[in-house]
């Protein structure tokens, strides 16, 4: 299994490399790919040094799978070129997510839609992944009508520059700014760029992607995405209105039965999900499960996950694992 990792030196790419090793993915040849400034440098994988190469050399090697985490423009330019030589691309950017010809996949929910003909597969937005993990079993049982979500997102979702900004501000050091304002001791209702409708791109991803993943446009999602000064892990307050009523004990049971979800929900012992506990874990944590008492058939939940792992790297590697297991590559 020849695997190209595009964006191997980036924040998510580094986690992907770690996960390929942790999960013992059957890599027989690793092709780490990065920008021109990194070509020729070496990185370690499974105790061996691997030289970083450029795009053209990686394509010439005709890898079985190419996992991309190098930004949307890079994916738009290069993913089709990998696909042309028979490589199956798993792309972590937003480039292909809403393309009607491409599958948008969370393996626990809709991996079954994949075929050997899918040569470019989209990895959903980090905030979308953790939310749909919890929503999917409940939608199947009770039928969602409307979702209202407010996110509390880590600076790591922006990248290395944002993490450095937070660290500099904590230490009282002047440095490059990833955001238009300080993030330390602050909260910015501004994730990604603003669109003409007044929502940010991040908020519109949360509105559109769940419908595609679940293959259902009968429900709607409205979102407010906020950046907070945590170093890792995204949190979400989710309010869901269903067509049918529910029992809270059954809701907890349904969530508990989903592979990849951990229910942490006991107010008596102050047990609830927090990003500090989700750090470096692959699960999606769900708690504060309670009925919205202001209207019928409506539920409140608090959902937390490590945005660099299940929100990005882990989900991509799980897609690759499914492709190998089902012999689709």
List, for residues 100-123, the tens digit of each pLDDT value.
999 999 999 999 999 999 999 999
Among the options 48, 190, 234, 256, which is catalytic?
A: 234
**pLDDT value of position 158:** 95
Tell me what pLDDT residue 113 has. 98
Count the Cβ atoms, other than its own, within 10 Å of residue 264: 19
Start and end residues for every CATH 3.40.50.720 domain found in the chain:
2-124+312-325
pLDDT at residue 293, rounded to an integer: 98
- As its CATH architecture, domain 127-306 has 2-Layer Sandwich (3.30)
Note if 48 is an active site residue: no
Residue of 50, 126, 139, 191 marked catalytic = 126
**Domain 2-124+312-325 fold:** Rossmann fold (3.40.50)
Reference 136, options 207, 248, 215, 214; nearest CA is: 214
For position 183, what pLDDT does the model report?
A: 98
Residues of the chain within CATH 3.30.360.10 domain(s) are 127-306
In terms of Cβ atoms closer than 10 Å to its own Cβ (0-12, 13-18, 19+), residue 168 is middle
Strand order in the sheet with 234-242: 220-227, 144-153, 234-242, 298-305, 284-291, 261-263
CA nearest 126: which of 326, 309, 295? 309
Q: Which residue ranges of the chain lie beneath pLDDT 70?
A: none
pTM of the predicted structure, to 2 decimals: 0.96
Write the pLDDT tens digit of every residue in 1-27. Answer: 999 999 999 999 999 999 999 999 999
Q: Respond yes or no: is residue 234 known to be catalytic.
A: yes
């Amino acid at each position: 299994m020849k695997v190209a990792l595009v964006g191997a030196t980036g924040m998510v790419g580094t986690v992907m490399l770690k996960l390929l090793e942790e999960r013992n993915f059957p890599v027989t040849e690793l092709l780490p790919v990065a920008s021109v400034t990194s070509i020729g440098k070496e990185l370690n994988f499974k105790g061996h040094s691997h030289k970083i190469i450029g795009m053209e050399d990686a394509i010439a090697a005709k890898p079985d799978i190419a996992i991309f985490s190098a930004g949307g423009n890079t994916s738009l330019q290069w993913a089709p070129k990998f696909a042309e030589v028979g490589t199956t691309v798993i792309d972590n950017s937003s480039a292909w997510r809403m393309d009607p010809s491409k599958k948008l996949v969370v393996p626990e929910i809709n991996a079954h839609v994949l075929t050997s003909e899918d040569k470019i597969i989209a990895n959903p937005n980090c905030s979308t992944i953790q939310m749909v993990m919890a929503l999917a079993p409940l939608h199947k049982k009770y039928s969602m009508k409307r979702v209202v979500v407010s996110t509390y997102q880590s600076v790591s979702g922006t990248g290395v520059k944002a993490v450095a900004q937070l660290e500099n501000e904590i230490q009282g050091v002047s440095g490059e700014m990833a955001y238009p304002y300080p993030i330390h001791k602050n909260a910015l209702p501004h994730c990604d760029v603003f669109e003409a409708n007044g929502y940010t791109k991040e908020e519109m991803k949360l509105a559109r992607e769940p419908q595609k993943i679940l293959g259902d446009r009968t429900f709607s999602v409205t979102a407010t995405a906020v950046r907070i000064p945590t170093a890792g892990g995204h949190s979400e307050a989710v309010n869901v209105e269903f067509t049918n009523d529910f029992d809270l004990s059954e809701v907890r049971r349904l969530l508990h039965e989903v592979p990849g979800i951990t229910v942490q929900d006991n107010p008596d012992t102050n047990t609830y999900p927090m990003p500090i506990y989700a750090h470096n874990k692959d699960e999606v944590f769900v708690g504060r499960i309670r009925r919205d008492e202001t209207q019928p058939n409506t539920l409140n939940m608090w959902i937390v996950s490590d945005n660099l792992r299940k929100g990005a790297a882990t989900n991509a590697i799980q897609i690759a694992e499914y492709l190998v297991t089902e012999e689709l590559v």
